[in-house]
């Protein structure tokens, strides 16, 4: 029975980790045509780490939980490939009603690995599970994207 539960827990963890979506950015990323007529960003990714001149954004695997009228913090970090030593400006899109992210335009300096974001939910913030799109813009090259999951809980 222990083995079965351990296996189920490992599978659930793998599915949760695998659900984080992100695309690489930086000057080492190129655009390639895809079958739908658009383009897809492509980086020659090594087996371990990030490709040269690229970066990837990392957001928390689990949702950041905030109760109405309170605040919490979330950390957004970058994994830098070889030769990528640029500042990365972060931008948030699709922020739910009544939620404020501070600082509004955070920067991950080339000497830093992460930024701490304060997530504040107003007393009348929308309740539920939300996905905030996060875009990382380097000084030159393509943007990287990721998602920040938020769960807004009702104040009791």
Question: CATH code at 35?
Answer: 2.60.40.10
Going by C-alpha positions, the residue among 58, 23, 30 that lies closest to residue 44 is: 30
The C-alpha atoms of residue 84 and residue 138 are separated, in whole angstroms, by 9
Instruction: Average the pLDDT over each of 12-21, 43-52, 113-122, 144-153 and give the range with the smallest value.
Output: 12-21
**In which domain, by residue range, is 71 found?**
2-153
What is the pLDDT averaged over residues 25-40? Answer: 54
Model confidence band, residue 15 (pLDDT cutoffs 50, 70, 90):
very low
Torsion sign across C-alpha atoms 118, 132, 21, 103: negative
Going by C-alpha positions, the residue among 123, 111, 72, 119 that lies closest to residue 92 is: 119
Domain count, the chain: 1
Residues 117 and 71 sit within 8 Å (Cβ to Cβ)? no
The per-residue pLDDT for range 92-119, each reduced to its tens digit, is 999 999 999 999 999 999 999 999 999 9
For the chain, what percent of residues have pLDDT higher than 70?
A: 68
Strand order in the sheet with 99-102: 55-58, 71-80, 114-121, 99-102
Torsion sign across C-alpha atoms 81, 13, 7, 9: positive
What is the pLDDT averaged over residues 16-24? Answer: 55
The C-alpha atoms of residue 105 and residue 92 are separated, in whole angstroms, by 8
- The per-residue pLDDT for 56 is 92
Model confidence band, residue 54 (pLDDT cutoffs 50, 70, 90):
confident
């Amino acid at each position: 029975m222990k083995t079965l539960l351990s296996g189920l827990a490992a599978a659930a963890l793998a599915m949760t980790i695998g659900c984080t979506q992100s695309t690489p950015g930086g000057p080492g990323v190129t655009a390639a045509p895809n079958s739908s007529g658009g383009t897809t960003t492509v980086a020659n990714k090594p087996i371990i780490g990030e490709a040269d001149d690229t970066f990837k954004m990392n957001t928390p695997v689990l949702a950041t939980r905030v109760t109405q009228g309170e605040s919490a913090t979330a950390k957004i970090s970058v994994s830098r490939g070889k030769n990528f030593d640029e500042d990365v400006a972060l931008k948030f899109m699709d922020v739910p009603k009544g939620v404020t992210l501070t600082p509004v335009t955070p920067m991950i300096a080339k000497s830093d690995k992460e930024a701490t974001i304060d997530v504040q939910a107003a007393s009348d913030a929308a309740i539920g599970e939300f996905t905030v799109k996060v875009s990382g813009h380097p000084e030159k090259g393509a943007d990287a994207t990721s998602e920040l999951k938020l769960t807004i809980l009702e104040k009791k």
